[in-house]
Amino acid sequence: MAVRQTSDAVSKVPPPLKIGITCFPLIGGSGILATALGTELAARGHTVHFFSYAKPVRLDLSAPRIHFHEVAVGQNSLFPCPDYTLPLAVKMAEIGRQEGLDVFHVHYAVPHATAAFLAREMIGDGAPKIVTTLHGTDTTLLGPNPQYRAAIEHALVNSDAVTTVSDSLRQQTEQTFRLHEQIHVIPNFFTPAKPTKSREEVRRELGISDEFLVVHMSNLRPVKRIDLLLRVMAQTSNRDRIRLLILAGGPFAPYEPLLDELGLRGHVLVREDAAAVENYLPAADAGLYTSEKESFGLSILETLFFGKPVVAFRIGGISEVVHDAAFLHEFGDIAAMASSLDQLVDSSELGRQMGERGRQRAEKYFTAANIVPQYEAVYREVITSQRA
């Protein structure tokens, strides 16, 4: 017998949520992911309130149901140092109470989950639940640091759910902290924007014609090992046919002397305009990443989405992202990295095939349609569950 759809069944569609997202605003994977997630959630009907000390770089404030609350860093002559955690907690508590937020989704345990914990204490009954997403540094850099370890552990234990962006980071987190609850692994996603310029136009603007263009995108922090990036370039047999484009989210000046030492001046272009990745990536022929730690590698995923072959070290969560759709080498094996680049320069067909495999993998596993519902499920789970 056919079951008739009743109005009761229809009304079971869960109501939209009110979500507070706290993230760093600058160019860096966590802020970019948090912005993309908030944007997708708002497009799905949820209301999203962002908290940060500046507008996240890729946040479009004209989109419906998106709000931004700027938190002024506390400067008071009574204090020896500026303070962000307390003003952030106060702002989150104020908006959380006023808007009746369901969830605080914080990206980074310190200081964001600590601020969320304080905000929850300030609000009291009916306070938003706390979902903390770890992106790497909390575990890999600050976790072993005795000045921060206990604060991070406290923030995680007091979260209603903790997520990591890769299984590798989940394992490291469980080894580093004593946690009672299961960690959810929710990988990052990316939605490529349409290029606004043609490949030819971008290459012309960069001053290159038929050279093989290798792209590297990062904030140039020491962990990205820009020294190794340049050394790989210096070891390729094709160095005169290759140009390296660095889309820099941080200062390149510290690496200028190495550029001269390796004889690479004229071979490396640096642009501090990483917002326009959708124009630069189609203009490139491959991506090169030399980080010594990388819990996920959002830039690598962005490169795959544009069908470009990737050469990287097999560290952290990178192999979970690329699987067999990239050239991965043991950390520090510069000769092998240079040799992979040479193969790509010598065979455009090899690059095309590898790039296509990467694009298919990215589109199969790392789209908003696959990932955003996983966060929605965590939000709904914590909202309905009672904390012990």
**Residue 136 or 307: which CB sits closer to ligand GMT?**
136
* Distance in Å, CB of 137 to ligand GMT, minimum: 6
- Interface stretch with ligand GMT, choices 66-74, 290-298, 361-369, 380-388 (CB under 6 A): 290-298
Q: Does 225 bind ligand GMT (CB under 6 A)?
A: no
Per CB under 6 A, contacts with ligand GMT among 239-258 are: none
Number of chain positions touching ligand GMT (CB under 6 A): 18
Nearer to ligand GMT, 187 or 351 (CB): 187
Q: Which two tokens stand for residue 344?
A: 């790509």
Which distant-in-sequence residues (6+ apart) come within 8 Å of 177 by Cβ?
Answer: 139, 143, 149, 152, 153, 156
Strand partners, 83: 74
Cβ-based nearer residue to ligand GMT, 33 or 226: 33
How is residue 333 written in tokens?
A: 């094996």
Q: Which is nearer to ligand GMT, 47 or 291 (CB)?
A: 291
Nearest to 116 by CA among 204, 23, 221: 23
Among 58, 184, 197, 221, binds ligand GMT (CB under 6 A): 221
Q: Which of 219, 235, 238, 367 binds ligand GMT (CB under 6 A)?
A: 219
- Of the listed pieces 132-140, 191-199, 203-211, 276-284, which binds ligand GMT according to CB under 6 A? 132-140
Q: Does 298 bind ligand GMT (CB under 6 A)?
A: yes
- Distance (Å) of CA 262 to CA 7, 158, 216, 236, 265: 71, 50, 18, 12, 8
Burial of 93 (0-12, 13-18, 19+ CB in 10 A): buried
Binding to ligand GMT by residue 223, rule CB under 6 A?
A: yes
Range in contact with ligand GMT (rule: CB under 6 A) among 22-30, 46-54, 255-263, 334-342:
22-30
- Which residue in the set 20, 25, 28, 287 belongs to the binding site for ligand GMT (CB under 6 A)? 28
Among the residue ranges 26-34, 61-69, 194-202, 239-247, the one whose residues contact ligand GMT (CB under 6 A): 26-34
Residue 165 engages ligand GMT in binding (rule: CB under 6 A): yes
Q: Which of 17, 21, 25, 29 binds ligand GMT (CB under 6 A)?
A: 29
Q: Does 33 bind ligand GMT (CB under 6 A)?
A: yes
DSSP H/E element including 96: helix 85-99
Instruction: Out of 120, 129, 135, 231, name the contact with ligand GMT by CB under 6 A.
Output: 135
55 with 74: CB under 8 angstroms? no
Whether 186 and 163 have beta carbons less than 8 Å apart is answered as yes
Cβ neighbour number for residue 129 with a 10 Å cutoff: 22
Give the nearest distance from C-beta 145 to ligand GMT in angstroms. Answer: 15
3-state class (DSSP) for residue 138:
helix
Spatial strand order of the sheet with 184-185 comes to 66-70, 47-52, 18-22, 103-107, 129-134, 161-164, 184-185
302 Cβ contact partners less than 8 Å away, ≥ 6 residues apart: 190, 192, 217, 277, 281
Residue 157 amino acid letter = V
Say whether residue 294 binds ligand GMT (CB under 6 A).
yes
Interaction between residue 172 and ligand GMT (CB under 6 A): no
Report the amino acid identity of residue 166: S
| 384 contact partners, CB below 8 Å, separation of at least 6 | none
| Residue among 314, 300, 322, 309 nearest 356 (CA) | 309
Give the shortest CB-232-to-ligand GMT separation in angstroms.
Answer: 19
Shortest separation between residue 289's beta carbon and ligand GMT, angstroms: 10
Per CB under 6 A, the list member of 56, 136, 195, 307 interacting with ligand GMT is 136
- Which residues between 173 and 202 bind ligand GMT (CB under 6 A)? 188
Nearer to ligand GMT by Cβ, of 28 and 56: the residue is: 28
Which residues would be at the binding site for ligand GMT (CB under 6 A)? Answer: 28-30, 33, 135-137, 165, 188, 219, 221, 223, 293-298
